[in-house]
């Protein structure tokens, strides 16, 4: 390798290091059980990393995710995603991308680690799992693991730079869990984006979430169908930089 | 069907006036009777109050509780999210009989950051 090429390689590495030095942020996806946290994490990874890579399995049974899982080094490039979506003729875009439209390409890029967490709940009862056809022993084991998972998720908050608080927009948002999470994030000074998930369902009412927490940004999305996800990525790039 | 618990008058549906009290007697307590539950029709307020089962509850409000986790039985847990988030130590309450377990490693653990 010539000295010139080596110099160029070093230079580009230095530029990348400088460019992203302060942008390696850990984003935690938090929320009550069955809000769609793993579906959202999988959606983000499918969009920005690999269509075949999953962070976890999502099912209709609550507390399916019982350990914190992390996918590191996800590079959000809104210019790229906007172009891809346009090429695929996606109809899910609801508005133009201001980060790109304004010509500020650097503003639309962010590198982060995504942390998928077990659902936060105030009560975990093995009998709830038996309703899904689980044997008693298995249900009790799941309840124990889910409880450990909640504690692990909360301990992780010490290492989190930003939170996507995911709520199910078909449910009443004014729950003890949501209020406690928001209050604690505010006290810690951790930036939050509230994602009102499941807007593809007929009884979704994301405005209820907006009304309940007017002091925070609320982005209605469907992690399952991919609706309005670009808006969420824009907010992430803006808020979590 | 709604029944005024003061005068006993029954109403098919709630009207705007009833929001300020029973049009007959001004009573503010109404019993909602589902279809097929006619047995409740003649109950008096005192009988109904006696029938309400109050869940066994601790003496302290959630804010005053010291435990971050309460184990109510095998596979039944009650989590105090506020305490879990605010305190680094784990204090477990066993059932509701005033027994507590303090998890010492969590108290001594160094902060990760």
Report how far residue B91's alpha carbon sits from residue B87's, in angstroms, rounded to the nearest whole number: 10
- For range A29-44, the mean pLDDT: 95
User: Is pLDDT above 80 for A169?
Assistant: yes
Mean pLDDT by 10 residues, chain B (113 residues): 82 83 85 69 63 53 76 92 88 82 77 50
User: A98: Cβ–Cβ under 8 A, 6 or more apart, which residues?
Assistant: A234
* A99 at B interface, C-beta within 8 A: no
Helices (DSSP H) in chain B: which residue ranges?
Answer: 45-51, 81-86, 104-108
* A106 at B interface, C-beta within 8 A: no
Report how far residue B82's alpha carbon sits from residue A180's, in angstroms, rounded to the nearest whole number: 6
Q: Please indicate whether, in this complex, the C-beta atoms of A123 and B85 are within 8 angstroms of each other.
A: no
Q: Model's pTM, two decimal places?
A: 0.69
* Nearest by CB: A147 against B69, B85, B111: B69
From residue A149, alpha-carbon distances to A28, A155, B21, B48 in Å are 14, 10, 48, 42
More confident residue, B108 or A217: A217
Torsion of CA A14, A17, A22, A25, to 10 degrees: 180
* A121 at B interface, C-beta within 8 A: yes
b/e string for B64-91 if b means 16 or more Cβ within 10 A?
ebebbbbbeeebbbbbbbbbbbeeeebb
Report how far residue A19's alpha carbon sits from residue A16's, in angstroms, rounded to the nearest whole number: 5
A94 CB burial (10 A radius; 0-12, 13-18, 19+): exposed
Q: How far is CA A55 from the centre of its chain?
A: 12
ipTM entry: 0.72
Whether B21 contacts B15, CB under 8 Å:
no
More confident residue, B77 or A96: B77
* A178 at B interface, C-beta within 8 A: no
Report how far residue A115's alpha carbon sits from residue A107's, in angstroms, rounded to the nearest whole number: 22
Pick among A147, A156, A183 to test the B interface (most B CBs inside 10 A): A147
Of A84, A129, A5, A76, which is closest to residue A241 (Cα–Cα)? A76
Query: Residue A112 has what pLDDT?
Result: 87
Region of residue A13 (phi > 0: left; psi between -120 and 50: alpha; otherwise: beta): alpha
Q: What does the domain layout of chain B look like in residue ranges? A: 2-51, 56-113
User: B7: Cβ–Cβ under 8 A, 6 or more apart, which residues?
Assistant: B22, B24, B25, B27
* Nearest by CB: A177 against B69, B81, B86: B81
Of A32, A35, A20, A50, which is closest to residue A198 (Cα–Cα)? A35
Query: Residue A108 has what pLDDT?
Result: 60
Which residue does chain B place closest to A32, by CA atoms?
B81
* Nearest by CB: A150 against B75, B79, B113: B79
- For range A198-212, the mean pLDDT: 96
From residue A180, alpha-carbon distances to A8, A124, A175, A211, B60 in Å are 51, 17, 9, 17, 18
Give domain A23-239's CATH number out of 2.60.120.380, 3.40.640.10, 3.30.70.890, 3.40.50.300.
3.40.50.300
Q: Which residue has the tokens 């006619």?
A: B38
Q: Please indicate whether, in this complex, the C-beta atoms of A126 and B112 are within 8 angstroms of each other.
A: no
């Amino acid at each position: 390798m010539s000295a010139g090429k080596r110099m160029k390689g070093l230079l580009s590495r230095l530029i990348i290091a400088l460019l992203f030095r302060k942008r390696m942020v850990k984003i935690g996806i938090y929320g009550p059980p069955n809000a769609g946290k793993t579906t959202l994490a999988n959606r983000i990874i499918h969009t920005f990393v690999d269509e075949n890579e999953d962070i976890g399995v999502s099912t209709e049974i609550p507390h399916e995710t019982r350990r914190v899982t992390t996918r590191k080094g996800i590079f959000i490039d809104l210019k790229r995603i906007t172009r891809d979506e346009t090429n695929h003729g996606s109809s899910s875009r609801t508005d133009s991308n201001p980060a790109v439209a304004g010509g500020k390409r650097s503003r639309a890029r962010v590198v982060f680690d995504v942390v998928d967490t077990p659902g936060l709940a105030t009560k975990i009862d093995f009998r709830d799992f038996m309703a899904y056809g689980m044997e008693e022993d298995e249900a009790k084991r799941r309840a124990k693991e889910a409880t450990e998972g909640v504690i692990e998720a909360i301990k992780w908050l010490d290492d989190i730079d930003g939170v996507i608080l995911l709520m199910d927009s078909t449910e009443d948002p004014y729950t003890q869990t949501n209020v406690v999470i928001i209050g604690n994030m505010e006290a810690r000074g951790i930036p939050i984006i509230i994602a009102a998930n499941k807007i593809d369902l007929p009884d979704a009412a994301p405005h209820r979430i907006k009304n309940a927490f007017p002091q925070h940004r609320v982005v209605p999305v469907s992690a399952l169908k991919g609706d309005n996800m670009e808006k969420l990525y824009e907010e992430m790039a803006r808020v979590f930089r | 069907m709604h029944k005024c618990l003061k005068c006993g008058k029954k109403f098919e549906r709630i009207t705007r006036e009833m929001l300020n009290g029973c049009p007959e007697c001004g009573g503010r307590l109404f019993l909602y009777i589902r279809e097929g539950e006619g047995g409740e029709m003649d109950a008096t307020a005192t009988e109904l109050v006696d029938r309400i089962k109050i869940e066994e509850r601790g003496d302290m409000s959630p804010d005053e509780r010291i435990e971050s986790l309460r184990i109510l039985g095998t596979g039944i847990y009650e989590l105090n999210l506020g305490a879990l988030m605010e305190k680094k130590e784990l204090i477990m309450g066993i059932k509701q009989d005033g027994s507590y377990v303090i998890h010492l490693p969590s108290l001594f653990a160094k902060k990760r950051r």
